[in-house]
Structure formats: C-alpha cells, structure tokens
C-alpha cells in the first residue's frame, strides 16, 4: 500500500506554501466552522493569526445533518477565503463535497478537506486523488483505522500523496461529548503509515470547554497538527457555535501548546 510504512519508512511532509505539516513543529489550523461573510472571516482570520495559527479553516459547502440548517455560501465563500489568503497570507483549508467543485477548489484554496461523512465517497476520493492540492482526510463517524487508511489509499492511488489524516472523534455509546476523540489513533497510525496526522478536538468533543484539554493531550501524544474552530461571536455563529473557542481562549491554548512542543 502506498500509504503504509512498509512502502515508505520516512515521514511524509506535506508542504502548504511555506508551512510544513509532518515536520518537527506543530501546525495550527484555526477558523470558524463556516464562512459566513467577508467581515466575519477576515475578523477571525486576523485574530487567529495574531495568536499563532498559520492556516485558516472555514467551510463554504456545509452538508449539515439537517437540510434546513445553513448550507454555506458556496462559491461566494471560496472567494471570501481567497480574499482572506490575500490579505493575511494564511493558507486556506475548506471542505469539498462534490467532484463538481474541483476547478473552483484549484482556483481559490490551498487545501481541500474531505468531511467525515464523505470518507467513503469513493468518487470524491478518486477526484481529489487527481488534484494538485493537499488533502485533509477526516475519519468517518464510525470508521475503523483500516477503513480510513484504505480511503487515503484511494487518494494516493490517483497520484496525490499530499494527504493529512484528521481524527475528529468517532461515534461511541458515550453521549456526554458529541463524539469520542480517539487519541490512541495517533500512535497506531504512526506505526502503520507515513502520513501526518491532524487532530480536531472541536468536532470530537462538541463542547468549547473540552477543546483545549484534548488539544493539549493530542500534542503530547504526537499529533503533527491541530484544527480548532474559533469564532469571534460563537453565540451567533451559523454553525458549531457551542464548540467554537473565543479568540482569547484560543490565544491561551496556543500559549499552553508552546510549552508542550515546538510550534510553527
Ligand atoms: C468541519 O470540519 O466543519 C466538519 C463538518 O467536520 P466533520 O466532517 O468532521 O464533521
Ligand atoms: Mn464544524
């Protein structure tokens, strides 16, 4: 398998402009769940940048659990992300939900994300396998590590090996958190694959106050990167407000992380 350690013993380093995921330093990706407006995205981007994030996240295509929830600004959202990149210098990460979005993604963003619900959308995986953009591949809601790696293999088999695996919590019997963060996936993956790992404690816990402890634990356990949802006004966020950190809270988390490991 192309993604296996047997195939390649050396760690894969995924370069996103001048940022390397999988190197000696922790990369922090931060931003809102969804791009809501130019003003919202720019405000949050400037704040997370000031606190040390080097990549900005924000969804433009939002396949929500309910069809009546906010579905994203779509192409308009991608244009906002491109403006944010231009003005802040931060690389931008966004979810791609259909092969029909490939050209727009190539044009406007730096990294494409495959959402948990699409981890086994094989047509989508084959499509990003042909793209010239790094891919964040989220673990499916109830996917085993082996299934997740086979999904990564679909992308690699198409020729794109710039893959970052994202653990974002899996579904268990425990309702106290939105999902259960499988931190043991980090040492398991480090043995099985050369691909770098990003941990998303925001979707894993679903609760703001649980995000920082799990982010710190992830770094201590050997994660290569973190993806954190941050919003300047979480109470009025159009999606995932309850798990979004206030900017100052994100700043405190960054300071804590600096004490655990070197950060980009
Ligand atoms: C997201 O990153 O905003 C998202 C929808 O995540 P997931 O696919 O992990 O639910
Ligand atoms: Mn979200």
The answer to whether the CB of 31 is under 6 A from ligand 1 is no
What are the structural domain ranges in the chain?
Answer: 14-260
Predicted TM-score (pTM) of the model is 0.98
Residue nearest to atom 5 of ligand 1 (CA): 115
Here the ipTM equals 0.99
CATH architecture for the domain at 14-260 = Alpha-Beta Barrel (3.20)
- CB of 188 closer than 8 Å to CB of 157: no
- The ligand placed nearest to the CA atom of residue 95 is 1
Residue-by-residue pLDDT tens, the chain, 264 positions:
999 999 999 999 999 999 999 999 999 999 999 999 999 999 999 999 999 999 999 999 998 889 999 999 999 999 999 999 999 999 999 999 999 999 999 999 999 999 999 999 999 999 999 999 999 999 999 999 999 999 999 999 999 999 999 999 999 999 999 999 999 999 999 999 999 999 999 999 999 999 999 999 999 999 999 999 999 999 999 999 999 999 999 999 999 999 999 999
**Ligand 1: centre distance to CA 203 (Å):** 7
- The ligand placed nearest to the CA atom of residue 230 is 2
Residue 180 in tokens: 């259960």
What is residue 67's predicted lDDT score, i.e. its pLDDT? 93
- CB of 1 closer than 8 Å to CB of 149: yes
The two beta strands, 111-114 and 91-95, are parallel
Residue nearest to atom 6 of ligand 1 (CA): 115
């Amino acid at each position: 398998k192309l993604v296996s350690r047997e195939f390649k013993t050396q760690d894969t380093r995924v370069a996103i402009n001048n940022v390397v995921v999988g190197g000696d330093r922790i990369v922090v990706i931060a931003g809102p769940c969804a791009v809501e407006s130019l003003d919202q995205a720019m405000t949050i981007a400037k704040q997370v940048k000031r606190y040390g994030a080097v990549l900005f996240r924000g969804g433009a295509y939002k396949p929500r659990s309910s069809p009546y929830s906010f579905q994203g600004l779509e192409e308009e959202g991608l244009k906002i992300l491109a403006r944010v990149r231009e003005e802040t210098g931060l690389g931008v990460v966004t979810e791609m939900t259909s092969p029909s979005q490939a050209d727009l993604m190539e044009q406007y963003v730096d990294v494409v994300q495959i959402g948990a619900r699409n981890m086994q959308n094989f047509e989508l995986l084959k499509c990003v396998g042909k793209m010239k953009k790094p891919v964040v591949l989220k673990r499916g809601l109830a996917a085993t590590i082996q299934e997740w790696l086979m999904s990564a293999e679909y992308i690699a088999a198409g020729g794109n090996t710039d893959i970052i695996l994202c653990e974002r919590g899996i579904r268990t019997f425990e309702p106290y958190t939105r999902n259960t963060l499988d931190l043991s996936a980090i040492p398991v993956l480090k043995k099985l694959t050369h691909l770098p790992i990003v941990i998303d404690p925001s979707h894993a816990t679903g609760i703001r106050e649980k995000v920082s402890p799990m982010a710190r634990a992830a770094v201590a356990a050997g994660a290569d990167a973190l993806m954190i949802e941050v919003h300047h006004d979480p109470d009025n966020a159009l999606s995932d407000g309850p798990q979004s950190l206030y900017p100052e809270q994100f700043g405190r988390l960054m300071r804590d992380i600096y004490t655990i490991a070197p950060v980009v």
